[in-house]
Amino acid sequence: MLRPKEFIEGAINKIKDEIGDEKAIIALSGGVDSSVCSVLAQEAIGDNLTAIFVNHGLLREGEAEQVCGVFEERLNFKYIDASDEFLSELEGVKDPEEKRKIIGRVFIEVFEREAQKVEAKYLVQGTIAPDWIETEGKIKSHHNIALPSGMVLNLVEPIRDLYKDEVREVGSELGLPEKLIQRQPFPGPGLGVRVIEALTRENLAICRAADAIVREEVEKAALNKQLWQYFAVLTDTKVTGVKGDKRDFGYLVVIRLISSVDAMTATVPEMPWDVIRTISKRITSEVSEVTHVALSISDKPPSTIEFA
């Protein structure tokens, strides 16, 4: 069984030994893994760590503010609003794999620019056990990463032997806010994989507003602890509706409430119907562009958790 206090002490000493007096960077997403790693590395090497939080314009409502609020004071923290850059590269792109590739490439470009500014030699990463166990044998425990510019960063992975529940225990011991520790997983490409059309500021705002209602209602009903993820997807389907006494033609939003232990498989659990109805009613009345809400009832497999 993990002893969080001892783990933290050991991890800090190990990071100190590995990085010494050199500079390091970490891509902080605000998820529990990168948050825990950022705090451990900051405790170990102080301001020689720069934690870079990139806003790609695909974040959820309130997310940038929340991450900045938690870390601005606690870390040597750099917030980069790169949303214009991401959205202009993504303009007109509908294919999900193409979107993912562009988001990944632009992320590396932005991150690399920042890494060069601080002359980092090390990259701290929040890899956890399930991330590498499946590919065991192919990954060495000490390895380097070459950025496209030719800059080579040594990888430091302080929590690579932990599982998610253990990372959460360490996060609690480090005094991170409960809301952040219990945060549901959120994919790197963000709302980019939950808006099926080519991305625009407008359709992202619709998805973001619907998603905020799903989160609010699920958390209000305290169902979040039973769920792996809970979110809204903005489809590219338009549906006839009636609002007031006028015909409307708006978007179909799908809500996805899913249970899982490791995201390899997932099931749709039974949920209180009143919560689902409230979510649906709120989305169609508060998000004017939406006329219809559907509930996804597909497990993984055969579906995946995300829609794209």
Contact predicate 50/76, CB 8 Å? yes
Q: Is 34 annotated as a binding residue?
A: yes
Burial of 57 (0-12, 13-18, 19+ CB in 10 A): buried
Supply 40's token pair: 């451990």
- Token look-up 């705002």 returns 205
Beta carbon of residue 49, minimum distance to ligand XMP (angstroms, whole number): 22
Print the SS3 string covering 200-233: CHHHHHHHHHHHHHHHHHHHHCCCHHHCCEEEEE
**Is there binding between residue 229 and ligand XMP (CB under 6 A)?**
yes
**Is there binding between residue 130 and ligand XMP (CB under 6 A)?**
no
First to last CA, the chain: 37
Interaction residues for ligand XMP, span 89-108 (CB under 6 A): 100
Question: How many of the other CB atoms lie within 10 Å of CB of 186?
Answer: 18
**Considering only residues 10, 185, 269, 272, which one is a binding residue for ligand XMP as defined by CB under 6 A?**
185
**Helix or strand holding residue 168 (H, E):** helix 164-173
**Considering only residues 30, 57, 171, 189, which one is a binding residue for ligand XMP as defined by CB under 6 A?**
189
# binding residues, ligand XMP (CB under 6 A): 11
Dist. CA 280–CA 235, nearest whole Å: 15
Beta carbon of residue 187, minimum distance to ligand XMP (angstroms, whole number): 3
Q: Is 259 annotated as a binding residue?
A: no
Beta carbon of residue 233, minimum distance to ligand XMP (angstroms, whole number): 11
Q: Is 81 annotated as a binding residue?
A: no
Q: Is 32 annotated as a binding residue?
A: yes
**Is there binding between residue 263 and ligand XMP (CB under 6 A)?**
yes
Contact predicate 176/36, CB 8 Å? yes
Beta carbon of residue 258, minimum distance to ligand XMP (angstroms, whole number): 8
Please give the residue ranges that form the binding site for ligand XMP (CB under 6 A).
Answer: 100, 185, 187-189, 229, 263, 300, 304-306
Known binding positions for ATP: 29-35
Known binding positions: 29-35
